[in-house]
Structures are given as C-alpha cells and as structure tokens.
Amino acid sequence: MSSLPSDLRYTKDHEWLRLEKDGTATIGITDHAQAALGDVTFVDLPKVGATFAEHAVFGTVESVKAASDLYCPVAGTIVGVNAELNGSPDLVNREPYTGAWMIRIKLDNAAAAQALLTADQYKQLL
C-alpha cells in the first residue's frame, strides 16, 4: 500500500478531500478503496450544479466485481466533474489521488472539512 498524502482529509468510507486555495474542495477515492474494488470500468458522476447533503450518495463506481456508492464527505454544490473518467475509468486504479479526482465542490460550510479524518487518523482504520 502506497503512503497516504498528508495534505488530504479522509472519510471512513474511503473518500479523500483536498481543500483548494479558492475555497472549493476536490474529492476522490483512496488507494485502499480502488484496490478493494479491483478493475474500475465506469464512474457515474453528478452534473455541475447538483447539490448534496453531507454523506449523500453523489455517484457510483463500477468495477468488474461490484457497484459501490460514492458518499459526499461535505455538504455543497458541484462546480466541476472529471470528464476524463468517462473515457478512462481505469485512472481510478492508476492515479487515485491525482488523475482520478471525481468532483469539485463548493462547500456550504467551509469549516466542515476540518471535521474529516487526517491521514494519520485514516491510517488507523486500514
């Protein structure tokens, strides 16, 4: 297992979140999650403008083995989705923390991200 980026926040559902300088946050799934899923064949993502409550299902990731829900770590409005995943869903397996980011969200409450797990806290769950 590769090391966990220390600048990210994490959830017990194996999503990661990065706070950007403009106050939005980028969200994806962790290396642990992609390894457990196996070969990813499709990522079902929401449309820009959609709003989600904290822990609402914002999409689905399909692997050969199973379809798994994606949970929004924080409440907010979608301001961007990663269109590259449409053509290259396998990016989730290859670059879970970089190329395979899934959504960018404008947080309803900028402080909400601080309640998420740190890399050290997340590591305890694995």
Query: What are the residues binding another protein (CB under 8 A)?
Result: 38-39, 41-42, 44, 60, 62, 64-67, 89, 93
Residue with smaller CB distance to another protein, 25 or 96: 96
For residue 64, the minimal CB distance to another protein (Å) is 4
The HSE-up count of residue 109 (CA atoms within 13 Å, CB side) is 11
How far apart (Å, rounded) are the C-alpha atoms in residues 41 and 9?
26
Residues 6 or more apart in contact with residue 53 via CB below 8 angstroms: 72, 75
Residue with smaller CB distance to another protein, 25 or 81: 81
Residue with smaller CB distance to another protein, 95 or 108: 95
- Alpha-carbon torsion 121, 6, 91, 54, what sign? positive
Buried b vs exposed e over 75-113: b needs ≥16 C-beta within 10 Å?
Answer: bbebeebbeebeeebebbbeebbeebbbbbbbbeeeebb
For residue 93, the minimal CB distance to another protein (Å) is 8
For residue 39, the minimal CB distance to another protein (Å) is 4
Residue with smaller CB distance to another protein, 37 or 74: 37
For residue 13, the minimal CB distance to another protein (Å) is 18
